[in-house]
Amino acid sequence: MRELTYREALYEALDQVMKKDERVFVIGEDIGVYGGAFGVTADLQQKYGKERIIDTPISEAGIAGACVGAAITGMRPVGEIMFSDFVVLSMEQLVLQAAKMRFMFGGKAKVPMVLRLPEGSGTGASAQHSGSYENWFVHVPGLKVVMPSTPYDAKGLLLASIEDDNPVIFCEHKLLYKTKGPVPEEMYTIPLGKSNIVREGKDITIVATSVEVMRSLEAADQLAKEGIEVEVIDPRTINPLDMEPITKSAIKTGKVLVVHEAAKTGGFGGELVSRIMESEAFAYLDAPVRRLAGLDTPIPYNRNLEYHTVPQVENIVEEARKIVQGVY
């Protein structure tokens, strides 16, 4: 199968769905002539015109509000927030409007919109351009939250998100844009709410999201040389969350490590730990379920400090080894 970058997979998804469905349009800052801050929309404005690839003023509230309004009147908008940090300016439209409309109108109103958020650290973009805020949205009933970790998942989950009749927050880690992987040419969807076992093992389960999936797989390769077989699970969507594969894996291995980049306090790892402890897996655990997450600090500009602020491969290796060896 041919390989595409994560960025190219997202571009292809948008290109294919816009050819197929005239209700789909994209709106955001610098997505037209410039092609997007991270190149995802490339030449789409030349292909589909300024009425379907819409450059906006610097107003994240306006982008989200336009998406909500267009969605409830029958369109399927895809909004892009240039950096996920600035989604804070869209919270009223997302939390008080998009998430609640379908419920407040007895199901008569649908809000089929996607808001794409380039997030995460690792690019030297400092505190205001490097955040990971996915768990804010998990806490809001009515919003779906998607976190693809591979080019294959990026295309399939974006197409599924655009087809969905509910508002979807689509989190894209900036370090993943250049990663490559197999992607089919045809349109395909990956159902929202289906976890993926990306590596099978018997000694410990690692549940990771976004860029930490890639790091966990690399850590698993290193641990395999020590005789430690790691099972790696990627939830792919954290709301809705598919717990069944995670619970089964925890029962099989008896040891679980949860890894994410967002700050530890209030992060999604805490929710995962609670659900594992509340499940039938509790009786099979041989060790406490552990979390490895970002430090509770804004992301520093200094590259060395930035590197040590979020979980890296060596941190995952060390933490998993400690759990397997019973040292925690």
Task: Give the CA radius of gyration of the chain.
Answer: 20
CA separation (Å) from 93 to 32, 130, 167?
23, 22, 11
* Upstream peptide bond of 240 is cis (omega within 30 degrees of 0): yes
Distance between CA 60 and CA 89 in Å, rounded? 6
Structure tokens of 54?
């819409």
Q: Residue length, the chain?
A: 328
Q: What is the DSSP letter of 83?
A: S
What are the residue numbers of the active site?
60, 129
| DSSP symbols for 114-150 | EEEEEE-SSSS--GGG----HHHHHTSTT-EEE---S
The amino acid at residue 34 is: Y
Distance between CA 116 and CA 8 in Å, rounded? 15
The amino acid at residue 296 is: D
User: In 164-285, which residue ranges form alpha helices assigned H by DSSP?
Assistant: 211-224, 244-253, 268-278
How far from each other are the two terminal CA atoms of the chain, in whole angstroms? Answer: 43
Dihedral sign computed on CA atoms, order 81, 10, 161, 146: negative
